[in-house]
Amino acid sequence: MDVTPVVSIVFGTCNRLGFLERAVQSVHASMSTMSYEIVIVDAGSTDGTQEYLNTLTRDNAQNVRVIQQGARMGAVAAFNEGFRSAHGRYVAAFNDDAEYIGTPVEYAVNLLQDNRDVGQVALPYLRHMCDDSEMIPRDIKIIRGDRTPQVQVVTLPIIGTVPYANFSVMSKHLGDSLGWWGNYYHYAGDTELSARVWASGLQVQALPSELDAYVLHYEAQDTTRALNVETHLFNARWRGPNSPFLKVARSQLHPPAPIQESKGNHLRFLGSAKDARHYQREPGSIIYQISPNARHFEAHDDDLKWLLSLRKGKNKLFQKL
């Protein structure tokens, strides 16, 4: 491995050995022309993950470095530690329950090198929710079908609706200067970083879908997956009256052509404090832990219709944003 690899692929993990092995294999398979390292931040796994990581680090040819946090500190802290310790000139944010299809990271690095106005590349991805007990299909075409990999968007003051990166690639220098994912706990860190990129006057650009290079995200439904109750913190910072965008001259920002708003499943809880509790569509489905002090969250596709149908008397309990 080069002393300074071109790119560092960073992800956290906790008790997801089966998924983790596939994620690592996919990184090796996707990096064909660039030097790279894999940085894995482990939050005290007890399922054999640490033993597996030891086998990777014994062989320098695996290009793997491991950071042991020893306990779960939240996804944002894990990614931030991995980002800051990365040796690569570019850094990619990955997930332990995902796979690279094709060579998306290499395409993204080339795009960044060729476009000075682009500060971050958002890798398109497909979702396939499953749990540890489900057989993960070997044929990717079974999962993809007619779907096109997409990136998420966010609406920000002044510049409008723009892409943000769930799976990102950007320069280490820029990420360090912007403070990476901030001080959230489990969610909103990726959106935070993209907002910081836009506020700096640079763009977040989606990797073109015609390249057929993307991320397959299994969205493992297990004990490590937490409910998103942090979107309201992001909204308060970036969409409120004190938004950093309102302090930047419009001429300093360079937004792309407007794009259509995402049909994301972001909901608002309309009920009272007495109505705040756990909501679960059926045994085995996602549990939504609702708090009167954290009213915004993202629902899964399978639960959206059910949540929107819930009422207390004549009043709806949830509203789509």
pLDDT category of residue 298 using cuts at 50, 70 and 90: confident
Find which of 36-40, 70-74, 143-147, 253-257 is predicted with most confidence, using mean pLDDT.
Answer: 36-40
Contact 66, 53 (CB under 8 A): yes
pLDDT category of residue 11 using cuts at 50, 70 and 90: very high
Residues in Cβ contact with 46 at an 8 Å cutoff, skipping those fewer than 6 apart: 15
Structural Rg of the chain based on CA atoms: 20
Q: In the CATH hierarchy, which top-level class contains the domain 7-248?
A: alpha beta
- pLDDT the model gives residue 260: 43
Rounded average pLDDT over 48-66: 84
Q: Which long-range contacts (CB under 8 A, 24 or more apart) does 193-196 make?
A: 193/120, 193/165, 193/168, 194/120, 194/122, 194/154, 194/163, 194/164, 194/165, 194/168, 195/154, 195/156, 195/164, 195/234, 195/238
Q: What is the mean pLDDT of the chain?
A: 83
What whole-number percentage of the chain has pLDDT above 90?
41
Rounded average pLDDT over 171-179: 95
The DSSP element (H or E) to which 247 belongs, if any, is: none
Separation of alpha carbons 320 and 268, rounded Å: 6
- pLDDT the model gives residue 87: 95
pLDDT category of residue 12 using cuts at 50, 70 and 90: very high
Separation of alpha carbons 234 and 75, rounded Å: 16
Give the SS3 label for residue 207: coil
Q: What is the DSSP string of 266-310?
A: EEEE-S-GGG-SEEESSTTS-EEE-BTTB-EEE--HHHHHHHHH-
Domain ranges of the chain: 7-248, 266-320
Separation of alpha carbons 135 and 255, rounded Å: 42
- pLDDT the model gives residue 141: 62
- To the question of pTM greater than 0.85 for the whole model, the response is no
* Residue 81 DSSP label: H
pLDDT category of residue 259 using cuts at 50, 70 and 90: very low
- pLDDT the model gives residue 266: 77
- pLDDT the model gives residue 90: 97
pLDDT category of residue 258 using cuts at 50, 70 and 90: very low
- pLDDT the model gives residue 231: 82
Confidence check: pLDDT of 250 > 60: no
Q: Which of 90-104, 133-147, 210-224, 279-293 has the lowest mean pLDDT?
A: 133-147
Rounded average pLDDT over 30-54: 91
